[in-house]
Amino acid sequence: MATISDIAKKANVSIATVSRVLNYDKTLAISEEKRKLILEVAASLNYETPRRKRMRRENKLKIILINWCTAHQEVEDNYYLQMRLAVERACYENDMELVKIYREDNAFENFPEAGGAIALGRFSEADQKRMEVFKNLVYLDSSPANEKYDAVVINFEKAMRSAVDRLLELGHERIGYIGGREYFEKSGETKEIRAVSFRKYLTELNLYDPALVFIGSFSISSGYQLMKKAIRKGKLPTAIIAANDGIAMGIIKACHEDGIKIPEELSLIGFNDDVQSQYLVPPLSSVRVHKEEMAKTAVELLKERIARPDGIPKKIVIPTELVIRESCAKL
């Protein structure tokens, strides 16, 4: 960041002269050419006076990022950690002040004042009701109220079909699924969209077998424990789709311990395509979710909503892609 000293050196004047010019001291005896030079140098170095910086901070747009998970759950489910960081970067690039709120925070009960909010994740109906205090609200990774709020999502059903289709091309028909529950689900059948999409498509193909579906949480440890359970149960599928790459890592560890070779004996596809997935043994095939693009789009939508609060709500679908690596093989 440029200083007064940098400007003085480049303009070949004293620091005191630069300071008086930048503060518009009319009593300073200086030629108009020299005054203009100092201002041009300051502009070329993107210099801001302390007063201007203070004014910019005071006028900076404040928005809230509302996380549907707790800080602990965010660490376990790397997807939402990466998404949150992507939102932070997008806000920084747009010179926005970001306030982060997790489910365990008291602030989740009483939201601070802000120009708008981004709701990250999949919220219960009760949580959605509480967030109606925001006129300017964008949902990221879910779209519970298309007629009222903007949203940025992916097509989970299409993404899941691409993973299943890949396994079908390789000759697999006995396909299993290991996933997690939404954080607000207490019991009963999971409503998690990846699991629902898997069940729907396999049912259409007349290949769905509930005995090959295992539901826990979105963590490495859960993937490990559920795979161990599947191994003990016997009659393993020939291929498994994991709800995220963390679960897939747990599956790989469990298989290694029990001497089950991937992909020779079990093909595996993850979801999200985390950075570390390409370095696993074997490198993991995974559905890539463009989290940076989703976050940037959410911030842009919020800016547009703040500028035009009465505009028509938009739902933007960011495409995914299946990244093929070495964790799948022909049957």
Local confidence band at 126 (pLDDT 50, 70, 90 cut-offs) = confident
Same-domain check for residues 180 and 90:
no
Please give the residue that has the higher pLDDT: either 288 or 104. 288
The DSSP call for residue 210 is G
Confidence check: pLDDT of 59 > 90: no
pLDDT for residue 40: 84
pLDDT of res. 303: 93
Q: How many domains does the chain have?
A: 3
274 and 175 share one domain: yes
**CATH code at 97?**
3.40.50.2300
User: 251 lies in a domain?
Assistant: yes
Can you count the helices (H) and strands (E) in the chain?
12, 12
Alpha carbons within 13 A on the beta-carbon side of 98? 21
Mean pLDDT computed over 139-146? 92
pLDDT over 70 at 229, yes or no = yes
Q: Beta partners for 150?
A: 138
Which of the four pLDDT bands, split at 50, 70 and 90, describes residue 9? confident
- The band of 127, judged by pLDDT with boundaries at 50, 70 and 90, is confident
Residues 250 and 169 in one domain: yes
Task: Say yes or no: 101 and 30 in one domain.
Answer: no
In angstroms, the CA 18 to CA 41 distance is: 10
| Same domain membership, residue 120 and residue 145 | yes
What is the reported pLDDT for 120?
Answer: 95
Q: Which domain holds residue 82?
A: 61-154+291-319
Residue 51's domain is classified under what CATH number? 1.10.260.40
pLDDT tens-place string over residues 179-213: 998 765 554 566 788 999 999 999 999 999 999 99
The predicted pLDDT at position 12 comes to 87
Residues 267 and 298 in one domain: no
Same structural domain, 189 and 266: yes
Report the length, in residues, of the chain: 331
The pTM assigned to this predicted structure is 0.78
Confidence band, pLDDT 50/70/90 cuts, at residue 216? very high
Clarify whether residues 183 and 251 are in a common domain: yes
Residue 93 lies in a domain: yes
> What six digits make up the tokens of 276?
């570390």
Average pLDDT score over residue span 109-120: 86
Residue type, 6: D
- The conformation of residue 173, written as its DSSP 8-state character, comes to -
The per-residue pLDDT for range 74-105, each reduced to its tens digit, is: 877 788 889 999 999 999 888 888 989 987 77
Asked if residue 217 belongs to a domain, the reply is yes
In a shared domain, residues 193 and 232: yes
The arithmetic mean of pLDDT across residues 273-298, rounded, is: 95
